[in-house]
Amino acid sequence: MKKLTLLLAMAVLLGSCQKEKELGDQKVLLSVNPELKIENTTKAVVDGTTIASKQIGVQITNTLGTLLYLGSSDNLLLTKAGSWGLSTQTFLTNTDAKIYAYYPYSATDFSGTGETAILKITIPSSQTVDEQKDYLFTAQDKTEYGTGSAINNSNGGVNLKLFHALSQVAFVVYKENYSGTGNITEIKITDATATSNLKITKDGTNDLQMLVKNGFISGGDKSASLTRSLSTDISLTSDPGIVASELKTKINGYILLAPCTIVRNNITLSLTIDGKTYNATLSAGADCIFDAGEQTIFKIKLSGTAISVTGVVVADWTSVYEGEVVIQ
């Protein structure tokens, strides 16, 4: 009986070893199927509807992020044509992998490998709201972000998460005792600090860049203000309250900016309404921290010949971009 038990145990062990050997020899095609969860956006920001038309950059490396994975291309293009597909087929073996991904894809502005990979980005001081670029990033070596199993040919699904690298400053405007149409054609945020904290594209040789592994933005120049042009009418005629979920549905416009911290009373918000520019400087208080993936909503009242800030709400900018990487 003991001999039979021993033989059975050896058979199981040999079978297990044979399975591992087969997996090690087998190359399994990697496919990526991203989905997006972001609410209340315009076409400048990637959302669950527009993601299908977007181009995403993908790089696959060893787990240290120092070498490309088994000869993989350094900058793969992920697009959707019926189903999601990479520009070059990538196969997984029993060697563990790490996935770096970013948006928007660029054949010329992306460089480096893994931990040192960067994307050159642009943040002009003046542009339209819809011209703003929403930059996303991630670095993941597990089937779940921060947990799960190693990525290889024996693990069939990876939940890939991408995050916003920028911060969003949004405006919800309502009018009281104002008889005009209330057409907003420009929004602006100004930092009166001696050396402004608002990062922008550098003229000439632009070195403004995003580190793909964590979204950290460095380089570039600094501007006293960021201006965005748009055309939207003020429809609210009473205070909309301070519930973030409600305010998100009433945003008139927004500015995307590199994460920064600004002394509160150094910030001036400007709105051009019906051809006239109105300014409101924030009162003294705790510094305004504009973090990546956060949405700071300024509630502004237009009354007669002036505007005033009547509330500030900081909320998650539905900050996680989630998809599934499936090993077929």
Calculate mean pLDDT across residues 79-103.
85
Calculate mean pLDDT across residues 265-271.
97
Q: How confident is the model at residue 105 (pLDDT cuts 50, 70, 90)?
A: very high
Lowest mean pLDDT among 59-73, 96-110, 138-152, 302-316: 138-152
CA angle 20, 23, 24 (to 5 degrees): 85
For residues 209 and 222, give the distance between their C-alpha atoms in angstroms, rounded to a whole number: 14
Strand order in the sheet with 118-120: 110-111, 118-120, 209-211, 217-218
Checking if the pLDDT of 42 tops 70, the result is: no
Q: Which domain holds residue 312?
A: 167-203+221-316
Name which residue leads in pLDDT, 233 or 82: 233
**pLDDT tens column, 165-179:** 999 999 999 999 999
Q: pTM, whole model, 2 decimals? A: 0.86
Q: How confident is the model at residue 71 (pLDDT cuts 50, 70, 90)?
A: confident
Q: Would you state the pLDDT for residue 317?
A: 81
Calculate mean pLDDT across residues 221-245.
95
Residues 153 and 235 in one domain: no
The set of residues, in sequence order, having a beta carbon less than 8 Å from that of 319 and lying 6+ positions away, is 163, 164, 292, 293, 294
Q: Would you state the pLDDT for residue 240?
A: 95
Residues 146 and 174 in one domain: no
Checking if the pLDDT of 16 tops 80, the result is: no
CATH classification of the domain holding 286:
2.60.40
Residues 64 and 131 in one domain: yes
Share of the chain above pLDDT 90, in %: 62
Of residues 204, 66, 85, 212, the one with CA closest to residue 138: 212
Lowest mean pLDDT among 7-11, 199-203, 213-217, 237-241: 7-11
Residues 194 and 298 in one domain: yes
Task: Establish if 208 belongs to a structural domain.
Answer: no
Q: Would you state the pLDDT for residue 188?
A: 98
Residues 174 and 86 in one domain: no
Residues 237 and 307 in one domain: yes
